[in-house]
Structure 1
Amino acid sequence: MFACTKYRYCTGQDVLPHGPVNGTLGGNVIFKTTINPTTLSAIAWTFGDPPVSIADFLSSEGPMTGVGFVGRISLDNSTASLELRKLTLIDSGTYKVNIRKAGVIQVGHTSLIVYEPISGANITTSPNPPIIEGSSVTLTCDAAGSIITREWMKDGQLLSASGNITISEDKSMLSINSVKRTDTGEYRCRVSNPISTANAKHGLIINYGPDGVEINGPTEIVGQKLTLTCSADSNPPASYSWMLNGTEIPGHSPEFTKEKSEYSDSGDYICTATNYVTGIKISVVHKLSVKGLPAGAIVRIVIRVLLVVGGAVGVAVHTSVFYITVVCRKCWLTFHID
């Protein structure tokens, strides 16, 4: 096992850490040996297979730096630890060291993986919005850098392939087949490697409806204020139109109101809910009857009667008044007197 500090100063149970050691593109890394500071006769560092010389040190002659590493290394002559700077992606590979002290040779090897930091993570959709319920959509997660892992989440919950969701083998694409309105939400893609992490998010909106269209209001009314309300489950919100007995009522409000109802307000009210994104429109009918007088109304009717007294000559006229009181419960009153 081995451990590294935040400065990439690595230690291990052997002469070198077992590895791999993680490095950042353009950054530095230190391969620290387990040797305590002492006087070393010779040190030789190599890279790759076949080996390429990084540094050779002889106590009698001093250090020699290999081609491609000039200005990029520092060698600790007392521990044989090596610092490598300005890392490139091609620096990934196997590193070996041979150390000689008083005729004893110690050998160690480890590996380095150089990662490019992740940046520019984003999510794109296909097809482009609007997305309509029942269709399919694919979210694609991409980023610059050395991508090792991807994770998908919806509204903070980790997603896996199930139900109508499929995820590509490299997890770069998440597909939703026959989308439902419950698929609306915030989708996140987390892209990471051992040295960096980036997140991208996308708000997915599913357009649906209208459905569940209904009119709420009285079916029978007597002279007072009339209010009918039309509602529907729809995204985006539906637009509404009204008709009474086949005649259009101006306006597009979900509510129809009249301060005082009249007999002519009776009939079939039709509300049509329209979603201009999904292209769906649904109509419902509400029957309303406007009655005459309220229950328990008292009507006083005055009847004047003309009485003719006498014959053809000397006519006398007398007018009498009769009062008739009628108690009406939910009825229409019609009187005709000859």
Structure 2
Amino acid sequence: MKQQVWIIFFLAVPLCSSVQVHNATVNGDVTLSPVGISTVRSVVWKFGIDKVAEFDPSFSEDVKIFGNYRGRTTLDKETGSITISKLTLEDSGTFSVEVDSVLMPDLYRLEVHEAVYNVTIIKADSSNSSCELLCTAKPFSGEASFNYVWIKNGQFLTNGPHLTVNKSHLSYSYTCNASNPVSWKNTTVKDICKKAVNNVDIRKADSSNSLCELLCEAKTSSGEASLNYVWIKNGQFLSHESHLTVSKSDLSHSYTCNASNPVSWKITTVKAKEICKAPNRWLIPVVVVLASIGVIGIGAVGWRLYQNRDSKPDDDPAVNGTGAGSNRDTGAPNGESGGLVDKSTV
């Protein structure tokens, strides 16, 4: 019967007790003190159902420390307070205390946290209209271990590790504050959604008898074309535009285009003479077509001559021997010449 009464009393204690929460840092220390007690005669501290420390002068003037609390826990005999050092995450839990053999109604909840450090912001995802940022803090033992707050220009935006930024707002700086009950840190980024510049190219855009226009083209890996351009000749700045007009008297120089965005830059250099004297791109197909037409025409003429090389008319007198003056019929006897008779001999 006595045991049943004790169980009922023990179960009823939490119903009328309060819980004191104590936050502490890993490798730090914490002190727990009985509430409303100035002096004690005997005291027993427990973690759950396991004893942590005990002092009872009826049995011994020495303080007893139990389990893995040995070597890092002290107990004050007069106030009944205990101090635990070299805290670990496993020390998190609920403590209770008995003073002078009476179980005190208050409970002591110890929460041990890792200090926040190495807060970083990365780009988690991106689309044509938005960019998603992710804030992380280490040591990373689960997102619930840290609280995240996003700030822009000193104004609160949202809670949580993720932030979706409209691409029209990418010029702003964004700050993530990661915290827990014992520490906090923050970090700030700008233009993190930009891509690195690549594929810088210079080509001839147009030309005349006296001028040549160069065009610098560069894109990022995401196809972003809103870049900054700087033209340089012999180390001297020329222009901020993507186009550069060069006088043909200056074609012997080399020209450099620097394409950049807030996170990266690339340069390329060309000799203006090589670019501006090269034929226009549209001209090459025209030349090929004209050359093809010429080859076809020459082939047709050659084939016609080949077909007519042995063709002669059949009635050519020189060929058939029937022309005037050849084998004329004179009526002369056989074996006699058909020539004229010399009458002087008759």
TM-score by length of 1: 0.49
| Higher fraction of strand | 1
Is the radius of gyration larger for structure 1 or structure 2? 2
| Higher fraction of helix | 2
TM-score by length of 2: 0.48
